[in-house]
Amino acid sequence: MGIVGKIGDVFHKIEYHTSDAPEIKGQRFEDHVENLFSQHYFRIIEKTHSFKTNSDRYVESSKNPDFIFEYIPTKEQFAVECKFRTRLNRQNQLEWSYPAQLKRYQEFAYERKMPVYIVVGLELTLIDENDPDYDKIESYMFNIPLEAAKYPALSESVFAKYERDYNKPFFWKRGILY
């Protein structure tokens, strides 16, 4: 690789770690979620293509959930769709999808006879109106079974049940992802 390629790689790494672009933030979150699945217990069977790959030429399987994992000890498979959000809507709902996408995931689960989990990262900036210099970012993660994510926007009474530690590794027990 020449000097120009190396410089390009450096700029790409800087952009990946510092960009506020939604597709970059989403990719960072997806990478974070992937890293929470131990290679000792989980095998990646399928993974959707990157934003860059799809920008060059769209790959239809990118409409599927982001990952299909296999729990190695039992060979059970399940799908994970990652979503990253920075706010709730005006009704304090978590908008994770849109109707056609939700329907696609439901059809995927039915056709493949496979559970689908929606893993949502929510990063909220908390601001104190009395202190203009105060802002704090709080990060949350939710692991929502598709059967519980019945609508594209979920009320807090639904998504709060599935909150998990943002950095805790995932585990599989008796057909359920924790």
The reported pLDDT for the residue numbered 63 is 86
Q: What is the rounded distance in angstroms from the CA atom of residue 94 to the CA atom of residue 72?
A: 32
List the domain boundaries for the chain: 22-177
Q: What is the CATH architecture of 22-177?
A: 3-Layer(aba) Sandwich (3.40)
- Residue 119 β-bridge partners: 82, 143
3-state secondary structure of 19: coil
Strands 116-128 and 76-85: parallel
Q: What is the rounded distance in angstroms from the CA atom of residue 134 to the CA atom of residue 64?
A: 40
The reported pLDDT for the residue numbered 11 is 43
Q: Are 49 and 77 in contact (CB under 8 A)?
A: no
- Those residues of the chain that have pLDDT short of 70 are 1-18, 50-59, 61, 128-129, 131-134
Side chain identity, residue 37: F
